């Protein structure tokens, strides 16, 4: 899924003005499509965006805000997908030669890098990840409504986390998001961090919702997926309680 998302990011890298904060590369959650979608690129024939639908791992083309096509990736290689996307953007009047997967960051290596095909046979796993991103997008939108100075909710293609950044003061921030899993936790987890990083001795405020403080290599509040209640109806309240308490704690740590 991380590799599939790069096809949406590639449109931003290839066709949008590059921004100092790399925001031209990030993706937004489209709840109607269940997809992570690039920022739109204007053409003579209207706008086009490219994204990945998580539940079935399909590349979607969004024309003038509406889905125009979906290309299932099962059995396709990166090269196959590149040709498919180039045909899509060419049909909207863009030069297909401009579309490239060249990027200035690295992501974890996968067999598709060596010519392997995308495999969506583990259906339940894709459905579960769709649920995580869908839930995170909803809860992080709540965060942006509750916190003045919060950025839009976006997915960043290098770490593949979906997040918002809250400006607390000059050069002081707290970030809230969801990671699908990484070197710190081999499972999805919600997190809230503070910039500049606070001194370890100042960390320890109680966290709601079963959250804990992470202090190895980086400092922040986390709610690993394994700590969520097994009662689906109660999970939203738990996540929201964690985020609200962790943001308040991290604001205090950076003087906000």
pLDDT of res. 198: 93
∠ CA 244-249-250, nearest 5°, is 100
Q: In 22-153, which ranges are E strands?
A: 28-30, 35-37, 41-43, 46-53, 58-63, 66-72
Distance of alpha carbon 172 from alpha carbon 56, whole angstroms: 39
Residue 66: the pLDDT is 93
The C-alpha R_g of the chain, in whole angstroms, comes to 19
| Domain layout of the chain by residue ranges | 2-114, 123-253
CA distance 163 to 174: 11
Mean pLDDT taken over the chain:
96
Max distance between CA atoms of the chain, in angstroms, equals 58
| DSSP per-residue codes, 200-248 | GGG-----STT-EEE-SSS-EEEEEGGGS-S-HHHHHHHHHHHHHHHHH
Confidence (pLDDT) at 205 = 95
Which CATH number applies to 123-253: 3.30.750, 2.60.40, 3.30.1460, 3.30.70? Answer: 3.30.1460
How confident is the model over 76-85, as a mean pLDDT? 98
Q: What is the pLDDT of residues 83-131, one digit of tens each?
A: 999 999 999 999 999 999 999 999 999 999 999 999 999 999 999 999 9
So what's the pLDDT on residue 255?
86
Q: Residue 256 above 80 pLDDT? A: no
- pLDDT tens-place string over residues 153-182: 999 999 999 999 999 999 999 999 999 999
Bridge partners, residue 174, by sequence: 166, 194
For 32-55, how does the pLDDT look when each residue is reduced to its tens digit (9 = 90+)?
A: 999 999 999 999 888 999 999 999
What b/e sequence results for 138-154 when a residue is b if at least 16 CB atoms lie within 10 Å of its CB, and e otherwise?
Answer: ebbbbbbeebeebbebb
The pTM of the full predicted model, rounded to 2 decimals, is: 0.95
pLDDT per position as a tens digit, 190-237: 999 999 999 999 999 999 999 999 999 999 999 999 999 999 999 999
Contacts 24+ apart (CB under 8 A), 111-114: 112/3, 112/77, 112/78, 113/3, 113/78
Q: Which residues pair with 191 in a beta bridge?
A: 177, 222
């Amino acid at each position: 899924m991380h590799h599939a998302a790069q096809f949406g990011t590639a449109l931003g890298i290839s066709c949008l003005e590059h921004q100092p904060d790399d925001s031209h590369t990030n993706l937004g959650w489209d709840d109607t499509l269940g997809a992570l979608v690039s920022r739109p690129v204007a053409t003579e024939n209207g706008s086009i965006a490219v994204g990945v639908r998580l539940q079935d791992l399909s590349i979607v083309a969004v024309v003038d805000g509406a889905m125009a096509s979906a290309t299932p990736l099962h059995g396709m290689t990166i090269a196959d997908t590149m040709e498919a996307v180039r045909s899509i953007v060419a049909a909207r009047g863009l030069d297909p030669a401009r579309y490239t997967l060249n990027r200035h960051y690295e992501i974890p290596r996968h067999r598709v890098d060596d010519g392997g095909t995308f495999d969506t046979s583990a259906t339940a796993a894709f459905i579960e990840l769709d649920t995580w991103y869908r839930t995170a997008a909803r809860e992080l939108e709540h965060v942006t409504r509750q916190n003045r100075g919060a950025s839009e909710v976006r997915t960043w293609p290098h770490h593949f986390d979906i997040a918002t950044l809250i400006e607390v003061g000059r050069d002081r921030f707290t970030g809230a998001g969801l990671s699908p899993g990484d070197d710190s936790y081999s499972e999805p987890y919600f997190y809230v961090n503070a910039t500049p990083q606070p001194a370890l001795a100042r960390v320890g405020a109680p966290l709601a919702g079963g959250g804990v403080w992470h202090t190895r290599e980086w400092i922040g509040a986390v709610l690993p997926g394994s700590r969520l209640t097994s009662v689906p109806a109660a999970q939203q309240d738990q996540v929201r309680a964690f985020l609200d308490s962790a943001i308040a704690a991290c604001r205090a740590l950076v003087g906000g």
